[in-house]
Amino acid sequence: MVIDRVLSGDSRGEGEEQFNYALRPKRLEECIGQDNVRQKLAIAIQAARKRGEPLEHILFYGPPGLGKTTLAHVIANEMGAAIRVTSGPALTKQGDVMGLLSNIGTGDILFIDEIHRLSTPVEEFLYPAMEDFKVDFTVDSGLHAKTINFPLKRFTLIGATTRAGLLSAPLRGRFGILHHLEFYSPQELTQILRRSAVLLNLQADAGTLELIAQRSRGTPRIANRLLKRVRDYAQVKGAGRLTAKIVSDALRMEQIDELGLDELDRAFLRALATVYGGGPAGIEALAATLGEERDTLEDVVEPYLLQIGFVRRTKRGREITPEACRHLGLKIASPKGPLPQKELFEEDV
Ligand code: ADP
């Protein structure tokens, strides 16, 4: 069961990139929420500028759609630096990194999204680049292989990952600044939506943006995406203005409930409750039952369900909580005893 998700974490899709770009804050003072991260970044940026030095390497981690890419661009703007954007899976060989690094200027930023997906050789190639601003590049192969030591300009690497735990210790250790991005409060999301509505020239009745914010799972990307869907709905079914009825009808059509859960979240919880008797169930087993990618469940579905206390993660697997059963109107499941040994070894929880 692959469900078209309005709530999916990634930003791909028709027009989505442009839409995101238009709504993306450009300066630190335009960013809403993440107060702690913003304050620390503001200090680091000011200090680096005063010293006339590039920033230390920075790692952002947290669920998709919380603003990691946005912050990388904001930092580049604040530092007056150029930014080059790439991603872990796009850098398949050392030559790909070399191509980027050899053209990078002093103080410029290299942004690597999904940095946990770098291959080991590429990652190891990056170590001296990050630490000593040089690389050992091998040209030719076999008998003619030669290693050339290539000095680089002092640049700043900004890495983004949804899973800091998957980063190797040596890579993690080479970042001077690490920031965990948290889910946003409904009030912060309302502020973000207010800003977006102004940029989109959208009229909204009092209380309507709050309705969208409450159903956005603490995630600005989802809030903006819902705003876009609601705007379309208002244009077709109404006079273009957001009213309480338009918003709730549009969200109902998207099958998003009052907590912001969509069909895939509910399917996940239902599978856990009914197929696995409330759990514990391993993520691979759940992915197989739902016909979904394990990564989607771990990156996009679970973090919010964990945050609102609908799922518990134990050593033996995922368990549903009574709150989740109540929300779905299911008989409250009592988690099972220990898993049979065989299952324990097969499942990677
Ligand atoms: P990530 O890289 O973590 O997946 P993005 O940086 O792509 O997330 O953010 C998704 C969208 O959310 C952006 O296009 C932007 O419009 C919005 N956004 C993110 N963070 C903020 C913020 N602090 N304030 C306002 N809008 C934000």
- pLDDT digits 0-9 by tens, 174-210: 999 999 999 999 999 999 999 999 999 999 999 999 9
Mean pLDDT of the chain: 89
pLDDT of residue 344: 38
pTM: 0.88
294 CB burial (10 A radius; 0-12, 13-18, 19+): middle
64 within domain boundaries: yes
Is the minimum distance from the CB of 67 to ligand 1 under 6 angstroms? yes
pLDDT of residue 59: 97
Ligand 1 atom at shortest distance from the alpha carbon of 20: 14
Torsion of CA 152, 156, 162, 167, to 10 degrees: 50
* Structural domain for 120, as ranges: 34-180
Domain end call among 206, 232, 253 = 253
Residues 226, 222: Cα–Cα separation, whole Å:
6
- Judgement on whether residues 125 and 71 belong to the same structural domain of the protein: yes
24 within domain boundaries: no
- Judgement on whether residues 71 and 137 belong to the same structural domain of the protein: yes
Count of domains in the chain? 3
- Judgement on whether residues 111 and 203 belong to the same structural domain of the protein: no
15 within domain boundaries: no
pLDDT of residue 347: 40
The mean per-residue pLDDT over the stretch 64-76 comes to 96
pLDDT of residue 345: 37
- Judgement on whether residues 175 and 41 belong to the same structural domain of the protein: yes
The mean per-residue pLDDT over the stretch 241-267 comes to 93
59 within domain boundaries: yes
Helix 263-270 / helix 283-290 crossing angle, nearest 10 deg: 120
Domain end call among 150, 180, 210 = 180
Task: Tell me the sheet residues that pair with 58.
Answer: 158, 177
What's the full length of the chain, in residues?
Answer: 349
Residue 145 has pLDDT above 90, yes or no: no
Is the minimum distance from the CB of 297 to ligand 1 under 6 angstroms? no
3-state SS assignment for residue 29: helix
- More confident site: 4 or 322: 322
Of 6, 77, 75, 5, residue with least CA distance to 34 = 75
Q: How far is the CA of 23 from the centre of ligand 1 (A)?
A: 8
Least confident of 116-120, 144-148, 289-293, 310-314: 144-148
- Return phi, psi of residue 340, to 5°: -60, 145
pLDDT of residue 7: 55
Helix 186-199 / helix 16-23 crossing angle, nearest 10 deg: 100
Task: Give the residue numbers annotated as catalytic, written as ranges.
Answer: 68-69, 113, 162, 221
Residue 5 has pLDDT above 70, yes or no: no
The mean per-residue pLDDT over the stretch 305-320 comes to 94
Q: How confident is the model at residue 319 (pLDDT cuts 50, 70, 90)?
A: very high
- Judgement on whether residues 231 and 274 belong to the same structural domain of the protein: no
